[in-house]
Structure 1
C-alpha cells in the first residue's frame, strides 16, 4: 500500500507523509584510512550505531577531528565504510557501485559550509544546475527555480551573481539548489559556521520550515551547540570516532550522561555564577552562611512560579542570584541560581520541597 501523499502548499512537489521508520540506519559502522603500514592506519569511525527517523532533524555534534565529517560523507557515498552497514530507506548502500550511488544521490540534497556556488552562473542558473544535469525540460526548470527562490526569500535576486550576495543569501541559494531535485534527505555540513549569529538564526528558521512544510529529513553536523538546541529533534554526540551519547535533544541537554555532552551543553543550559559571587563561594558551611543552589526547571515547571511556591511551603526566604529561561528543541527550560540559609532545618526543608516539586537542585557551595 502506497504512503498517503501530503499536498505541497508551495507547489514544489508532493511528498509522502513522514513515517516513524528510520530513513538512515548505521549498524556498527567503521571507517579506517590506510597508512603506509597497518600500524599507521587511522580509525576515523568505530562501531557507529545511529538511526535517523524519517521526517526528523537529527544533529551530530563533535569537535574538530571527532569524525562527524567522515560520518556525513558516508551517507552520500563520498566515503565508503570499511566495516558495518549503512541502510538508507532499507537499502544497504555499503554494497552500491557507482551507478547505484548516482541513483541514490538524486534523493539526497547537500548544503555546504562554504556554499560551493559557481561564480560564473547567476543565482537562477546555480539553482537550475541539478535539474539541467538530470535532463529536466527548460520550462519545468524555470517554474521550479522560481518557486524555490520564492521559498528561500530570494525571488528578487534571480539574475544576481554570487559575488553580489551576502553570506546568508549565498547559503539560501545553496538550500534552494539542494531542494531542486525534490530530495527525501537533506545533509548539512557545518551549514552555519561561516555565518554571523543573526544570519545563522534566519538560516536555521528556513531549515525548520523546509523540514515541516516539505517533510524532508535533515541530518546535520556541527560543532555549534546552539544550532542543535535551536532546531534538532535528536542529537548524537561524537568523540574519537564513536557516538558517546544519543537521544532526543531535550532529554540529552537536560540530563547529559557523558562528560563530553555535559561540557557541550553547559554553555546553553547552565547559568553562570556572577563574578562578584564566585570568589566568595566555599565548599563548607560557616556560621551564618547560605547554601548556593542551581535549580533546573523543565517542562511546565520552567514557567511556573516555583520560587513563590517554595517560599510559601517551607517559610524560608529564597534569594535569587541569577537565572535564565530558554527553549531546547521548542520545549521550555530554565536554570536558576539561588541562596537559602545553611541551617539544617531550613536547608533540608528547601531541598525536600524541591524534590517534591520534581526539580533538580545542585549544591554549588556556601557563601557568607
Structure 2
C-alpha cells in the first residue's frame, strides 16, 4: 500500500507531520460490504490512517464514490469497520455495542446535506429533540435551546416551522440541534452542498465560530475545494477508498504532491489563461517567441513587489498577463501569469532569480 503524501511545513517533499493531542484516530481502518449473489466483497475503505487533532477543523475531500461518506459514518457508529481500529478520546470504539454507541453519540453531533428536520416541529422543538431524548429537564431545555438559537442567529425564528425557512436557516437549525447535547466533535456530511454560494459562506463562518468559541472539533466531508480552503486547518484527500495525501491545508493546496489533489486545487489556486492568450499559446517555441510562466507566490512573497524587483535586478522585461492573490487557511497565496524573453541568457536569468527567491515557476507555453 502506498502511504499518503504529506507536505512539510514549506510544502516541499514528503515528510511526516506530527499531530499532537488527537481526539480521533484511524489506524489501518478498512470497510468492506458483502457481495451480492455470490459476487466478491466490495471494499469501500482500505488502510485508512488519519488523525483529527483536538480543536481542529479537518476536511476530507473526494469525488462521489471515493469513500468519504463511509469514513465519516464510522465515527458515530452508523457503519462498523471491518479492519483496523478507530480511537475516539483514546477509547477503541471499533467493538462498541449499540448501547456503547448510544452513549458515545451524545458526544458527537452531526449535520447533514439535506438538513433532516422534522416538518411537524417548530425550530425550537427541532433543536430541543436531542435533549428530550436524553431526558433533560424542561428548564434546562429552555435555557440550552434559547442560547443555541441566539448563537446561530435564529432567536426570532423559534416558533417557525421548517417550511417557513430558507435553506441557510434550515442548516442553522441543524447546527443548533447538533450542538444541543454539547458534543466534543461535530461531523459535517456535505453540509453546504445544497446551498448557494453566499449562504455557503455564512454557514462556513458559523462553523468557524462554533469551532473557535466553543472549542468543538469539526470533521467534515466535501467534494468542494473552496470549503476546504475557507475553514479547514488540515485536509485529507481520498480516492478509491484510500487517503492519497494529507497535511495542513496551506501546504497541501499550495504544493499538492498527488495528481488527484492537483486536479482539485487547480480551480482555487491557479490562474486561467485569458481567452485571447489561450488561442495563441504553443507548446513549442518559435524564433522571437516569449515564454509564458505561471509563478506561485506564498507567504510574504504573495504581497511583495517581486516582479518589479525581478525586472530591476536582472534587467529583463517581465510582462504581466493575469494574476490573483487569495488567502488559504488565513495565509496569503498568489498566482501570476507572465511572459518573459525565450532567448538565452535572459530566460535562464529569470528562472534562476525566481529560484533564488524560492518561487515556483512553471512553463505554460510560448506566444509571439
- After TM superposition, the score normalised by the length of structure 2 is 0.94
Q: Which residue of 1 aligns with 2:335?
A: 335
Q: Which residue of 2 aligns with 1:193?
A: 193
Superposed CA offset, 1:14-40 (max 9, x none): xxxxx9311110000000000136642
Q: Which residue of 2 aligns with 1:221?
A: 221
Q: State the alpha-carbon separation in 1 of the partners of residues 140 and 78 from structure 2.
A: 29
Q: Which residue of 2 aligns with 1:160?
A: 160
Q: Which residue of 1 aligns with 2:287?
A: 287
Q: State the alpha-carbon separation in 2 of the partners of residues 154 and 42 from structure 1.
A: 43
Q: State the alpha-carbon separation in 2 of the partners of residues 141 and 183 from structure 1.
A: 15
**How much has 1:279 moved relative to structure 2?**
2.0
Q: Which residue of 1 aligns with 2:301?
A: 301
Q: Which residue of 1 aligns with 2:47?
A: 47
Q: State the alpha-carbon separation in 2 of the partners of residues 337 and 278 from structure 1.
A: 12
Aligned ranges for residues 304-319 of structure 1 at < 5 Å?
A: 304-319=304-319
Q: Which residue of 2 aligns with 1:275?
A: 275
**How much has 1:94 moved relative to structure 2?**
0.4
Q: State the alpha-carbon separation in 2 of the partners of residues 344 and 155 from structure 1.
A: 67
Q: Are 1:150 and 2:150 counterparts?
A: yes
Superposed CA offset, 1:306-332 (max 9, x none): 111111111111110000111111111
Q: State the alpha-carbon separation in 2 of the partners of residues 91 and 334 from structure 1.
A: 43
Aligned ranges for residues 1-368 of structure 1 at < 5 Å?
A: 20-36=20-36, 39-368=39-368
Secondary structure (helix, strand or coil) at the match of 1:94 reads coil
Secondary structure (helix, strand or coil) at the match of 1:168 reads helix
Moved over 2 A (4+): 36-40
Q: State the alpha-carbon separation in 2 of the partners of residues 210 and 302 from structure 1.
A: 30
Q: State the alpha-carbon separation in 2 of the partners of residues 320 and 148 from structure 1.
A: 50
Q: State the alpha-carbon separation in 1 of the partners of residues 345 and 30 from structure 2.
A: 56
Q: Which has the higher contact order (CA 8 A, sep 6+)?
A: 2
Superposed CA offset, 1:269-324 (max 9, x none): 00011111112111222221101000000001101111111111111111100001
Q: Which residue of 2 aligns with 1:14?
A: none
The RMSD of aligned alpha carbons is 1.0
Q: State the alpha-carbon separation in 2 of the partners of residues 100 and 38 from structure 1.
A: 33
Superposed CA offset, 1:87-145 (max 9, x none): 00110000100111011000000000000000000000000111111111111111111
Q: State the alpha-carbon separation in 2 of the partners of residues 317 and 300 from structure 1.
A: 23
Q: State the alpha-carbon separation in 2 of the partners of residues 220 and 36 from structure 1.
A: 31
Q: State the alpha-carbon separation in 2 of the partners of residues 214 and 115 from structure 1.
A: 22
Q: State the alpha-carbon separation in 2 of the partners of residues 206 and 298 from structure 1.
A: 27
Q: State the alpha-carbon separation in 2 of the partners of residues 38 and 28 from structure 1.
A: 27
Secondary structure (helix, strand or coil) at the match of 1:95 reads coil
- Is there any run of 5+ residues in structure 2 with no aligned partner, and where? 1-18
Secondary structure (helix, strand or coil) at the match of 1:40 reads coil
Q: State the alpha-carbon separation in 2 of the partners of residues 125 and 330 from structure 1.
A: 37
Superposed CA offset, 1:51-81 (max 9, x none): 0000000000000000000000000000000
Q: State the alpha-carbon separation in 2 of the partners of residues 195 and 46 from structure 1.
A: 31
